[in-house]
Amino acid sequence: MPIFRSKAPLRISLAGGGTDVSPYPEERGGAVLNCTIDKFAYATLKVNDSGPASATVHSLDYNLSVNYARAEDLTYNGELDLVKAALRVLRTISGNDGGAYELFLHSDAPPGTGLGTSSTMAVALVGAFQRYLRQTWTPYEVAELAYRIERVELGFKGGRQDQYAAAFGGFNFIEFFRDRTIVNPLRIPPDVLNELAYRLLLTYTGTGHYSNDIIERQQRSYADKSGRTSEALDATKQLAIDMKNELLRGNIDEMGRLLDRGWQLKKQFTEGISSPHIDQIYDRARAAGALGGKLVGAGGGGYLLFLCDFERRAGVAKSVQDAGGNVVEMSLEMAGVQSWAVRSETGTPSASPPEAAPARG
């Protein structure tokens, strides 16, 4: 039985997040600066082309296994809806409604933490099917397929930066327009990359978030022509350009100050971006020597990213832990989505998932 695996890297957004969310990029053009880290979403696909049409999904993150044997099993009901949407879209593209699929899915970070986990899982799923279908999709096409799965088919609110970051990998300055997206990979000298990685600090706040609600409020505020929201988004786009320039110049201290500026702007997008708990962690980190920081997702919870003075990084780490945060070790990852074929049964996933239950709903 053929086995195909894929992994896609999670991302940290450095600047410009929110300007990739419609209708802003269609009307004014958006821009983000992000990079990927050594935390991944993984997908394994086992295929039995001669078997009856069905799909068995093992989500190791949720300790859940479900079998979808009928078309109505793929109804969206809040349970593994992203996977259902991927199966609907990718089966249509393949032109083959037959065969039995078995999927094993897991991620290094749970959904709702601001690292783009759901979008990255969509990219990993596209990568696994790309290998199985022997398609020569470009990173642009992979990203757009993942966007179609999550934003169009499933209707989840959000922009495009997560899918493009996972598909391309590395440091990218990404521009969003009405009819196209342009990815500008940045060539950063190794000395600058090493110094930046050494001085970054990723902290889990202990609380998740539901980005759909926050992004919907942001869209409403912008659509209502709220001057505060529009001005904050315009300034955030310019800040992404400025931070890209400082990164290329190797001005890491200035990047820290721009991170802080970006966080202050982000809190103007809509209500619910921050919370007293997040503010406490942030303020303590700044007092301990962080040059700046921000939530790396839509807001409300998840991960805070700090850029520290190199002599005070350990003190910042202690301060955020004392405030209830949890420091997460990470490194920068330069590769985007990767997929490969497993050539023997010795490569069968070693995890023993629970017995598949019939689909509910």
Active site residues: 162
Write b or e for each residue in 73-93: b if 16 or more Cβ atoms lie within 10 A of its Cβ, otherwise e: bbeeeebbbbbbbbbebbbee
- Residue 30, beta-bridge partner list: 176
DSSP code for 160? S
Q: Count CA within 13 A, CB hemisphere, residue 141.
A: 8
CB 12 within 8 A of CB 115: yes
In angstroms, the CA 139 to CA 143 distance is: 6
Structure tokens, 212: 């759909």
Helix (H) or strand (E) holding 202: strand 200-204
Name the residue with tokens 């790396």: 296
In angstroms, the CA 306 to CA 278 distance is: 13
Sheet containing 290-295: which strands, arranged edge to edge?
290-295, 303-308, 200-204, 326-328
- Residue 105, beta-bridge partner list: 43, 59
81-94 and 139-147 helices cross at what angle (nearest 10)? 130
- In a 10 Å sphere around its CB, with 0-12 CB exposed, 13-18 middle and 19+ buried, how is residue 180 labelled? exposed
CB 290 within 8 A of CB 276: no
3-state helix, strand, coil in the chain (%, to 5): 40, 25, 35
In angstroms, the CA 126 to CA 45 distance is: 11
Question: 101 phi and psi, to 5 degrees?
Answer: -110, 145
Instruction: With CA atoms as reference, report the closest residue to 34 among 150, 144, 168.
Output: 168
